[in-house]
Amino acid sequence: MSERKLVCGIEIHQQLDTKKLFCSCESGLRDEGYGAYYRRLRPTNSEMGEVDRAALAQFQREIDYRYQCCEGCTCLVELDEEPPHPVNEDAMNTVLTFSKMLGASIVDEVQFMRKIVVDGSNTSGFQRTSLIATDGSLEVNGKNIGILSVCLEEDAARKIESDGNETMYRLDRLGIPLIEVATAPDMETPEEVMEVALRLGTLLRATKKVKRGIGTIREDLNISIPGGSRVEIKGVQELRMLPDFIRNEMDRQRMLLDIKDILNGRGTRPAEFEPIDVTEVFSECGSKVIRGALENKGKVIAARLPGFAGVMNGGGGNLRLGSEMAQYARTKGVKGIFHSDELPNYGIGNEFVDSLRSYLCLSEHEAFVICADREKKATDALRVAVERANIALECVPEETRDPLPDGTTKYSRPLPGAARMYPETDVPPMIITADRIRTIEENMPEFPEEIEKRLVSRYSINTQQAGQIVRQSRDELFVKISEASGMPAIAAAVLTNTYTELEHEGLNMGSVDDGHVLRMFDLLKAGRFSKEALPSLLREMAKGSDADGAIRALGIEAVDSDEASRVIAAIVKEREDFVKSKGQDAIGPLMGPVMGALRGKIDGKQANEILAREIKKLTG
């Protein structure tokens, strides 16, 4: 077997539609928050007596945090002002059910842990999490994909704004139960990763206890290529972007391996970090960045990088170590760095590059990197930039990276080690009894395939429609409509084709209330409008109307000809003098007000006939 080009596993985080994991708050998001409690978080020693490297990196950024409360979905528990309550039973049952669906082994006793996270997204400074089951599996396209673990944990607070020194979080999301499911690194192509993610999503939704909509499910990717290292891309929200992130990360790791070969081929040695104050070289420089920094009591600091020329930005844009260095530097709070491969540019002319080289005693092609900011910040930033450059001689570093909207990623922090977990002593361990497992097994939800079969046989819809309805978790709604209206064919067409078309128009069909849709079908059954009006009605309902409101707004309720005659007679009567003077010539001018009153309810021809009749009645 040839070596795999990609080793990839995914972790899916799915919000559950229950109350919060450790308190009785609603688990919803709010548009507004109030209050702004100030907090700081300090990294603590782990049980192995070490401070976690990721936690320490975060604390050194010296960021303060503020926390907003929200109506109905935050209490003292989210504020870390009250210990957690016992774990939510609904959420626990859901994760046990899901574990069983994957054939995973459930632990005998669940122990909640504190996973240290000091980026401020948890008021406590840790996320509460527990391992529920291990060793499951999943079949996708005939291949077995291993499931390493299923965990139950709490979601983090939402970042609302950040200005470099202070970050504001809203607490509504904190504490929403999450199922975290991690696959083995069994996927070998970007497309396969996507298939597995889709399948896991469908199984999660089959529990009927998960939240829907953007942000309620998030993917983390663990990616490595031969010779590369494990890199974690955290928090991808859009499923369709997964293959892009994977391809781009594979390219990035290949690029770093090329750079390693080039550097080792040259015999480049690790650069010693020696920060040098070169402010005087740039005193006359017109670069906006440098001028801004100098006006703000900053300095320009430089460091030599012998042997690194051409890989920071070279190979026709294919070698980009400089951008990796810059991402590390930015974690120290600077806007960026300049390296010799990209100069002259950015308002730094050749004369400055030359005089800097001579100031640093560098020959013409030797590399350097500079940073303009407060002295300490700039020095710290350059230190990590040079460290990053030196790592390029050795390997692809293990990192956590953040997804960007264009399918690429940026460095976020080192991969956290196992040291960041310790027991959550405020939550007692929970024995999973045989009785409980039995009850779970007796109440297993239908698998998606089973639901599909049932829909096909009972409602005579085709398998394609049934598949789509189930994948989009609209099967319960479909059954309700079909049972109430006796129109499964129309219901199926609406829930598949019409919904898809409207979603392509950019409407959020998930926001349409099931009750409103049911009411719409009731009205259809009662003959209040024709089925051709369904798409327009749903379009209106997606904007917030209920079924009756949509019908009124569109004015499409059918009227019988007696009702139409009454409306038209009234219009004629109001204009009696005009009608008497014009006779049948009044039809033209009166069609406007008539259609204004009856548009969509009767057609124009019928209106014209009734109007003629009513005018005749009045004029004799």
Kindly list the residues in this chain that would bind another protein in the complex (CB under 8 A).
37-49, 55, 76, 79-83, 105, 107-111, 113-116, 118, 123-126, 129-131, 135, 149, 151, 418-423, 425, 428-429, 431
Measured from the CB atom, is 60 or 606 closer to another protein?
60
CB of 221 to another protein, least distance (A): 17
CB of 98 to another protein, least distance (A): 17
Measured from the CB atom, is 80 or 522 closer to another protein?
80
Residues with Cβ within 8 Å of residue 492, at least 6 apart in sequence: 459, 461, 465, 466, 469, 478
Measured from the CB atom, is 116 or 502 closer to another protein?
116
Q: Please check whether residue 368 is in contact with residue 360, taking contact to mean a CB–CB distance below 8 angstroms.
A: yes
Task: Produce one character per residue of 393-421: b if its CB has 16 or more CB atoms within 10 Å, e if not.
Answer: beebbebbbebeeebbbebbbebbeebbb
Using left for φ > 0, alpha for ψ between -120 and 50, and beta otherwise, residue 494 falls in alpha
Q: Please check whether residue 51 is in contact with residue 416, taking contact to mean a CB–CB distance below 8 angstroms.
A: no
Measured from the CB atom, is 25 or 356 closer to another protein?
25
CB of 24 to another protein, least distance (A): 16
Q: Does a cis peptide bond (omega within 30 degrees of 0) precede residue 270? A: no
Measured from the CB atom, is 113 or 541 closer to another protein?
113
Measured from the CB atom, is 83 or 588 closer to another protein?
83
333 HSE (CA, 13 A, CB side): 20
DSSP secondary structure string for all residues of 349-407: -HHHHHHHHHHTT--TT-EEEEEEESHHHHHHHHHHHHHHHHHTTT-PPPEEEEE-TTS
Nearest to 72 by CA among 105, 119, 3, 23: 23
CB of 129 to another protein, least distance (A): 8
Measured from the CB atom, is 107 or 294 closer to another protein?
107
CB of 107 to another protein, least distance (A): 4
CB of 55 to another protein, least distance (A): 8
Distances (CA, A) of 258 to 232, 315, 335: 21, 10, 28
Residues with Cβ within 8 Å of residue 91, at least 6 apart in sequence: 16, 18, 21, 152, 177, 209
Measured from the CB atom, is 37 or 359 closer to another protein?
37
Measured from the CB atom, is 109 or 562 closer to another protein?
109
Tokens of 581: 């003077």
Helix crossing, 434-442 with 89-101: angle to 10°?
Answer: 70
CB of 185 to another protein, least distance (A): 14
Measured from the CB atom, is 51 or 559 closer to another protein?
51
Q: Please check whether residue 587 is in contact with residue 608, taking contact to mean a CB–CB distance below 8 angstroms.
A: yes
532 HSE (CA, 13 A, CB side): 4
Q: Kindly report the three-state secondary structure assignment for every residue of 137-161.
A: EEEECCEEEEEEEEEEEECCCEEEE
133 HSE (CA, 13 A, CB side): 27
Helix (H, G, I), strand (E, B) or coil at 234: strand
595-599, Cβ contacts within 8 angstroms, sequence gap of 24 or more: 597/567, 597/571, 598/559, 598/564, 598/567, 598/568, 599/555
CB of 41 to another protein, least distance (A): 4
Measured from the CB atom, is 82 or 161 closer to another protein?
82
Helix (H, G, I), strand (E, B) or coil at 278: coil
Q: Please check whether residue 16 is in contact with residue 191, taking contact to mean a CB–CB distance below 8 angstroms.
A: no
Tokens of 249: 């990360």
Tokens of 172: 């509504």
CB of 110 to another protein, least distance (A): 7
φ/ψ (deg, to 5) at 431: -75, 135
CB of 144 to another protein, least distance (A): 18
CB of 415 to another protein, least distance (A): 13
Q: Give the distance, in angstroms, between the CA of residue 225 and the centroid of all CA atoms in the same chain.
A: 25
Q: Please check whether residue 43 is in contact with residue 197, taking contact to mean a CB–CB distance below 8 angstroms.
A: no
Measured from the CB atom, is 43 or 445 closer to another protein?
43
| Burial of 164: CB neighbours in 10 Å, binned 0-12, 13-18, 19+ | exposed
CB of 76 to another protein, least distance (A): 7
Q: Please check whether residue 103 is in contact with residue 137, taking contact to mean a CB–CB distance below 8 angstroms.
A: yes
The angle at the Cα of 523, spanning 518 to 524, to the nearest 5 degrees, equals: 95
CB of 282 to another protein, least distance (A): 35
CB of 301 to another protein, least distance (A): 27
Measured from the CB atom, is 83 or 515 closer to another protein?
83
Measured from the CB atom, is 7 or 150 closer to another protein?
150
Measured from the CB atom, is 37 or 447 closer to another protein?
37
CB of 86 to another protein, least distance (A): 11
Helix (H, G, I), strand (E, B) or coil at 40: coil
Measured from the CB atom, is 119 or 373 closer to another protein?
119
CB of 169 to another protein, least distance (A): 13
